[in-house]
Amino acid sequence: MQEVRVFAPATVANVAVGFDILGFAINRPGDEIVARFNPDHPGLVITAITGTGDKVLPYAVEENTAGVAAQRLLEHLGQTELGIDLEIHKRMPFGSGLGSSAASAAGAVVAVNELLGAPLSRESLLYFAVLGEEVADGSFHADNVAPCLVGGITLIRSNDSLDIHHLPVPGNLQVAVVHPDIEILTRDARAVLSDQVSLKTAILQMGSLASFITALYTNDLPLLGRSLHDYIVEPQRKQLIKGFDEVKQVALQRGALGCSISGAGPSVFALCDSGYLAQAAGQAMQEAFARHGVSSQLYVSPINQEGVVIL
């Protein structure tokens, strides 16, 4: 095989109750990554980056999330002298809270691994993809990379040791994700967070996380809805998203189980128990943003259980 092309899906991280430890993948948007052998030069070279609009992404391997992820994988495999070209085709907005940098990093390691005959499992690729995303936001966490790489809903018991676990996905669970035309960089979204949490608030959050996981295992969607309350991060970050309170309110009024900020924002997600309700909630969320003078894009999807796919 001389060339591999993959699609890496967008992800929703935190999922209200699991800051830095929960995430799930959706069907779209996502990034396409291409890796191919090139005998004309040694080492990894980024040869094309498209879909960035007015943004400029670095072609230097050590400054690019996909480049770093792929390079660390090649170093691990002792294949740094192989001539490999890497193309990055962005298919999702930057600073969207949908795991754009994670998709590029995860897609890159899968493409290069496949090009080399798939010597490592998907789970073994996780460490290298997280190293890549760390370049973008300065934090070593897998709540976007893990679900992007392997699909489904993932729980990260420990980011330090990358102790990752798959959670069951109720069959009729659907999500509406609305991306308002606002850009929030992960570094900036982390800067607004306090490192102090009261004991009372911590107890509320722990209860919500525990009951959310219970709801997944018991297929109890009403319990899932009662569990989707973020007592720690959402109250601090919602100030960065114009119209957030109304957007959340209308999603719940249209039948969403729960609604919160996707990752660092500004995208907002609503979990629903049918595609019809997800579409209705999503459209209502868009209308609410519009009332605040903010245009947006809507994505309706089941939970993506494949992760990165080879095209």
- Three-class SS state of 160: coil
- Greatest Cα pair distance, the chain, in angstroms, is 62
39 annotated ligand binder: no
Residues serving a catalytic function are 133, 186
- Three-class SS state of 64: coil
101 annotated ligand binder: yes
98 annotated ligand binder: yes
**CB neighbours of residue 198 within 10 Å:** 10
Distances (CA, A) of 228 to 56, 256, 260, 310: 36, 11, 8, 33
Separation CA 145–CA 221 (nearest Å): 26
Bond before 119 cis per omega within 30 degrees: no
42 annotated ligand binder: no
Separation CA 49–CA 176 (nearest Å): 29
104 annotated ligand binder: no
100 annotated ligand binder: yes
Tokens of 249: 């309110």
Read off the DSSP letter of residue 16.
Answer: T
260 annotated ligand binder: no
Bond before 168 cis per omega within 30 degrees: no
102 annotated ligand binder: yes
Separation CA 145–CA 133 (nearest Å): 8
94 annotated ligand binder: yes
Which parts are annotated binding residues for ATP?
93-103
Which parts are annotated binding residues?
93-103
